[in-house]
């Protein structure tokens, strides 16, 4: 671990673009300066360039909203300008009730941006269980067009994260039609689900494609031990066998060890926990060259935006931003204008833009 994050004077100003959003979870940029925002309660809205918030868009599938579940992450396809395709993940109820799991769907945003159409579920986490916790649910499109989806261990099934016959505590990789890419690391391995890219995760709620050409995620620890990981194919990230955290009541988890042969170590861990959510690499120079290439992470429990300075894959500095807001930061994205946008996870949630100093 690199020391705890240090608070500094806030070098940026914030501009409120929209408010009155109920526990917003993710945002994506569309045409004309508009943005799509998901609300955990199961609503998808358009935020106009002038901050006006639309009524909920019709067309979503049934969503099992409750606890940590609901309508969660959302991204637009890399060719959105021509195909108007988007991908979203949500907690999907079992057909007969009595359980749910994370599901990934594709859809098309209507030309007038007033509804979504052609919804198709392309991946379902299996098995469904009766839980309101640990859905994971961050989506990344890689440059080759394949989709990565993070999946939580569902809290009550944490040991599943170490077995390969289920999707709990995994990162999966699928094609845009839901099929399994032939070069996935577990294709052809007996007893293993071929969608799996990596395993041994707890509840990853941040993911981004790194400048090094690899997937990066962060993962909620239990009490302590939030992790930042660079996710490589076919690797085991250890949960719950190794962890830098403890149970919520203070007891050790398993043998209480932090490393074991064959299990990956995090690039960084946060103890005490910051409860990370949302993550973005800043590629622009809008905030000056010192911020270009930095990694930005929202903090729920920590109520700040964390700036991580990197040298390759090594974190060499941390800086807390937006502490004065005293709001939970759920998502952070770089916009088409090269500026950072954040969502606050509150009953009266806000969409904010960070202005250069």
CA dihedral in degrees (38, 321, 152, 60; nearest 10)? 0
| Short-list 247, 255, 311, 294, CA closest to 273 | 247
Give the active site residue among 23, 134, 244, 304. 134
Residue 54: partners with Cβ closer than 8 Å, 6 or more residues away: 45, 46, 47, 48, 113, 114
CB atoms within 10 A of CB 15: 12
Q: In what order do the strands lie in the sheet with 206-209?
A: 206-209, 215-219, 226-231, 268-270
Our answer to whether residue 168 is catalytic in this structure is no
DSSP state of 187: T
Cβ-contact 69, 58 below 8 angstroms = no
Burial of 213 (0-12, 13-18, 19+ CB in 10 A): exposed
Q: How far is CA 201 from CA 70, 76, 151, 221, 322, in A?
A: 20, 25, 8, 9, 28
Query: Any idea which residues carry the catalytic annotation?
Result: 134
């Amino acid at each position: 671990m690199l020391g705890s994050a240090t608070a500094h004077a806030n070098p940026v100003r914030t501009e409120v673009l929209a408010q009155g959003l109920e526990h917003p979870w993710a945002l994506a940029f569309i045409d004309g300066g508009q943005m799509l925002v998901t609300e955990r309660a199961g609503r998808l809205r358009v935020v106009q360039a002038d901050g006006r918030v639309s009524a909920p868009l019709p067309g979503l599938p049934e969503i099992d909203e409750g606890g940590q579940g609901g309508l969660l992450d959302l991204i637009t396809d890399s060719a959105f300008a021509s195909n108007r395709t988007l991908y979203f993940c949500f907690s999907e109820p079992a057909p007969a009730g009595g359980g749910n799991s994370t599901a990934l769907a594709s859809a098309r945003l209507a030309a007038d941006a007033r509804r979504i159409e052609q919804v198709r579920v392309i991946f379902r986490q299996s098995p469904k269980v009766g839980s309101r916790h640990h859905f994971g649910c961050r989506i990344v499109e890689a440059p080759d067009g394949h989709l990565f989806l993070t999946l939580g261990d569902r809290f009550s099934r944490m040991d599943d994260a170490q077995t390969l016959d289920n999707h709990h505590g995994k990162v999966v990789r699928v094609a845009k039609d839901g099929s399994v890419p032939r070069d996935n690391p577990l294709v052809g391995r007996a007893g293993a689900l071929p969608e799996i890219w990596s395993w041994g995760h707890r509840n990853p709620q941040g993911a981004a494609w790194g400048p090094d050409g690899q997937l990066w995620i962060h993962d909620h620890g239990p009490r302590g031990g939030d992790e930042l990981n660079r996710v490589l194919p076919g690797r085991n990230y250890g949960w719950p066998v190794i962890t830098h955290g403890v149970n919520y009541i203070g007891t050790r988890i398993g043998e209480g060890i932090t490393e074991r042969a064959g299990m990956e170590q995090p690039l960084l861990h946060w103890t005490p926990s910051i409860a990370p959510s949302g993550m973005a690499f800043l590629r622009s120079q809008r905030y000056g060259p010192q911020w270009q290439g930095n990694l930005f992470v929202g903090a729920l429990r920590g109520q700040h935006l964390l700036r991580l300075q990197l040298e390759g894959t090594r974190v060499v500095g941390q800086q807390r931003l937006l502490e004065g807001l005293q709001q939970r930061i759920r998502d952070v994205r770089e916009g088409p204008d090269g500026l950072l946008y954040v969502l606050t996870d509150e009953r009266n949630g806000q969409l904010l833009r960070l202005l250069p100093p």
